[in-house]
Amino acid sequence: MQLEINVIDAFTDTVFKGNSAAVVITDNWLTDDLMQSIAFENNLSETAFMVLDDKGIYHIRWFSPFTEIAFCGHATLASAFVLFNKNPHLDCIKFSAKAVGILTIVQTDDSKIQMDFPNTKPEKVDSIPDSLLAGLSIAPIEVYKNAQAYFVIYNAESDVLTVARDNEQLKQLAPLDVVVTCQAKSADYKNYDFISRYFWPANGGDEDPVTGSAHTALAPLWAERLGKNHLVAYQASKRGGILDCVVAGDRVMISGNAVQYMTGFITV
């Protein structure tokens, strides 16, 4: 059996930047084992699989090389990019995923793809886990938590950019990952409201290049701290990525660019 596969760099308009995701569309679901094997073979942060139902809704699932993921923003962006390119007449796409329900995706006037996600604002943690303190070389100012990750607040961009981590300690936080973040203040980041990095050793990885799902928590967190609902974020990994975020009540709109890296076929 041959399957078309597209690899997209998400949250960037430049190849080799942003976060790469593979996209596979099938008429019917492959077995879980086969989807996991394909994701392992791809060895990208995530591979998205989609099946269209008779109501015009694309059911989507996301797999890292190690496990199925409940919610992945950059692979959703990559999937929408593929569908919009295949169907130029489309002005709206609806995805359905078990963990997040129905997601509405549109193209904006400036050619970005906007995704409508649930607001996952984290809550402040009063007792910081020892493994989190031991796992980061720079002590947090504050720590927040939601169902996905711990969110560590720093005062300076230099802390976010240079913090060292002990992955063995951070693995003890499973199933939660770790985000470090601060307000963007310097001239180098004058175009952004906040920056972040995302570490996921608890789920089998290291540092994620750009993490759309994390911004459904980061955007409302910084919206409250900065007193504004429209924010521009930069994820400061080696590849880097830019996310436009709008907080609207219990929803967070996240927009970004994407660019095609590869189209091909896999044989399974």
Active site residues: 46
* Tokens 């996905």, residue located: 148
Collapsing DSSP to helix, strand or coil, 134 comes out as helix
* Tokens 């994620």, residue located: 208
Question: Which uninterrupted H or E stretch holds 175?
Answer: none
Of 183, 205, 247, give the one whose Cα is nearest residue 63.
205
Q: Where are the alpha helices (DSSP H) in 12-72?
A: 32-42
Structure tokens at 46: 């995530």
Q: Distance (Å, rounded) from C-alpha 258 to C-alpha 111?
A: 10
Q: Distance (Å, rounded) from C-alpha 190 to C-alpha 188?
A: 6
